Structure 1
């Protein structure tokens, strides 16, 4: 009987601990102001609830960095992102963002809402987003840092947070390289491509 009781206690402890940890790891935090997003950021890691994106991301997305800067309107700001998918091409995209009721809203080039989650990384921001692509809405988890890369402990915490959300194994992005970094490297503006593309193209591209 004692063995049964001990086993039950251990099972209950094993089941309850992850729930408590996950409540802490996925806790939403208050956004102080849009100014806390300003500056240049390195995308350290990303995960989502879309099946198969981990392998695609490892193949296609090599480096990713972004710069967030203000607009003339007090409630708007912009995010300029550059990512490398081939040796000869870098791709850029600019998003217009709005901060309303502790949520970041994006309308272009895709419709998305983003909130901040708790992270122990001192110079990071951790976004949980709901992004609509075509007729579908997907969830993404992204961690950005002011440094070239995350520490092993920060990456481990991010993996645990993704697991708590039942997301895929995270894609770990290496330190960014400037684009273009040679005379042979070209930058392609993807904003016009998104405007002129079909919903299916947007879905396929963003899922990569």
Structure 2
């Protein structure tokens, strides 16, 4: 069960990019940008995220401490490899995925498609994604940056974007809690790989149930039970 708790938190925590002149109106803030593949490549810090699920912010803030992503070009044209590294409860987790650029959208090999949105942040990636799990679609907004912190004005703009899209107020990650290292550069670091190549119908059904408001409550209860059990040990 706990593996799916981590996957549920992780699967909404993928990709982003782009920059533009400062934007203030909802019309501009939710305007998709043209995607150029070379803009995606590199290391990005996850700054904040928002979804349409009321309790997801609480879930994100409880176990998820920090996260970063490294995007590299794959051999196939318009295809990229993604390494997502995040820290939960002081432990390091990795997730490897790939994406393809199709008709100005980033398409994940399972569950995910996204577009880039306007942003006044010069080194940020803002993506608006649709995460489809079975019959459930979860909309999410992600802010990534080359920096480990962004300005208050840049966070305010992102918060406004979430509001314009009728999403919940963003969860802001705390860079002061430290980041997990790159497993390729520090092979001795203990990490847990959450990469899933094939999802069975039963697993898909479980994920679908988790991506609901009641599912978020189940995850929160499970997470708290795990913390209580750890304290007892």
- Regarding TM over 0.5, the answer is yes
Deviations for 1:150-193, whole angstroms, at most 9, x for unmatched residues?
11110011111101111011000122513389999621110148
Does residue 81 (structure 1) correspond to residue 53 (structure 2)? The answer is no
Decide whether the 8 Å contact of 1:180 with 1:187 is kept in 2.
no
Provide the rounded CA distance (Å) in 1 between the counterparts of 2:205 and 2:58: 20
Which residue in the other structure is 1:104 paired with? 106
- Which has the higher mean CA deviation after the structures are superposed, 94-103 or 170-179? 170-179
2:58 pairs with one of 55, 59, 72: 55
Which residue in the other structure is 1:116 paired with? 116
Provide the rounded CA distance (Å) in 1 between the counterparts of 2:207 and 2:193: 14
Which structure 2 segments of 5+ residues have no match? 1-23, 220-233
Over 3 Å counting, the alpha-carbon distance change for 1:140 and 1:195 in structure 2 is same
Does residue 150 (structure 1) correspond to residue 150 (structure 2)? The answer is yes
CA root-mean-square deviation? 2.6
CA radius of gyration, larger in? 1
Does residue 133 (structure 1) correspond to residue 136 (structure 2)? The answer is no
Over 3 Å counting, the alpha-carbon distance change for 1:131 and 1:42 in structure 2 is same
Q: Compute the displacement of 1:103 (Å).
A: 0.6
Over 3 Å counting, the alpha-carbon distance change for 1:74 and 1:193 in structure 2 is closer
Provide the rounded CA distance (Å) in 2 between the counterparts of 1:186 and 1:163: 38
2:100 is paired with a residue of what secondary structure? strand
Decide whether the 8 Å contact of 1:90 with 1:180 is kept in 2.
no
Provide the rounded CA distance (Å) in 2 between the counterparts of 1:56 and 1:75: 33
Over 3 Å counting, the alpha-carbon distance change for 1:202 and 1:92 in structure 2 is farther
Decide whether the 8 Å contact of 2:92 with 2:180 is kept in 1.
no
Provide the rounded CA distance (Å) in 1 between the counterparts of 2:37 and 2:182: 29
1:67 is paired with a residue of what secondary structure? strand
Provide the rounded CA distance (Å) in 1 between the counterparts of 2:49 and 2:127: 10
Provide the rounded CA distance (Å) in 1 between the counterparts of 2:190 and 2:199: 21
Provide the rounded CA distance (Å) in 1 between the counterparts of 2:101 and 2:187: 38
Provide the rounded CA distance (Å) in 1 between the counterparts of 2:69 and 2:168: 23
1:188 pairs with one of 173, 181, 192: 192
- Which has the higher mean CA deviation after the structures are superposed, 163-172 or 182-191? 182-191
Q: Given the two structures, how large is their TM-score scaled by the length of structure 1?
A: 0.80
Q: Compute the displacement of 1:78 (Å).
A: 1.0
Provide the rounded CA distance (Å) in 2 between the counterparts of 1:76 and 1:180: 22
Does residue 90 (structure 1) correspond to residue 95 (structure 2)? The answer is no
Q: Given the two structures, how large is their TM-score scaled by the length of structure 2?
A: 0.72
Provide the rounded CA distance (Å) in 1 between the counterparts of 2:205 and 2:68: 25
Number of residues paired by the alignment? Answer: 185
Deviations for 1:79-128, whole angstroms, at most 9, x for unmatched residues?
110111112x2111011100011111001xx3211100000000011100
